[in-house]
Structures are given as structure tokens and as C-alpha cells.
């Protein structure tokens, strides 16, 4: 699993859920977001490394959710 790609997809889904003012269907977002969160939790719990943004303090900036 790629924790960086997982985190990026989670952020895209969160932004879509929060900002969906265009009437688009977001019914699939919640389930996919839950799958990604579980996968990332399993990955980290079983000894996997954190996503780069969470590891590297020098690169740490507030999360930017895509719009």
C-alpha cells in the first residue's frame, strides 16, 4: 500500500463530501473513505511507515484539501 496515495485520496474524498454544492452524487465517497482510513490504520498498526507529510516535520504545513 502507498500511504501517500491513500492520504491524498482521503483528502480528495473529504473535500468532495464537504464541498458538494453542485448536486453531484457523493454516496460512494463515505464508503471509500472508510475503506481508505481502515487500510491506512492497518498499515501503520502493522509497522508500515507514515505518509511523508506526517513523517517529515520540515515539510509540515496545514493540510490542503483539494477544491
In a domain, 38, yes or no: yes
Provide the pLDDT for residue 24.
Answer: 73
Provide the pLDDT for residue 59.
Answer: 60
In a domain, 61, yes or no: no
In a domain, 15, yes or no: yes
Q: Measure the CA–CA gap between 48 and 67, rounded to whole angstroms.
A: 29
Task: Render the chain in DSSP notation, one character per residue.
Answer: --HHHHHHHHHHHHHHHHH--S----HHHHHHHHHHHHHHHHHHHTTPPPPHHHH-GGG--------
Provide the pLDDT for residue 45.
Answer: 97
Q: Measure the CA–CA gap between 42 and 36, rounded to whole angstroms.
A: 10
Provide the pLDDT for residue 41.
Answer: 98
The pLDDT tens digits of the residues spanning 15-47 come to 989 887 777 788 889 999 999 999 999 999 999
Query: How many domains are contained in the chain?
Result: 1
- Quote the pTM value: 0.77
Domain span including residue 39: 1-19+27-46
Average pLDDT over residues 12-16: 92
Amino acid at each position: 500500500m502507498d500511504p501517500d496515495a491513500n492520504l491524498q485520496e482521503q483528502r480528495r474524498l473529504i473535500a468532495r463530501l464537504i464541498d458538494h454544492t453542485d448536486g453531484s452524487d457523493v454516496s460512494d465517497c463515505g464508503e471509500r473513505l472508510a475503506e481508505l482510513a481502515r487500510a491506512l490504520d492497518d498499515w501503520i498498526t502493522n509497522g508500515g511507515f507514515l505518509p511523508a507529510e506526517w513523517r517529515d516535520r520540515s515539510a509540515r504545513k496545514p493540510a490542503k484539501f483539494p477544491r
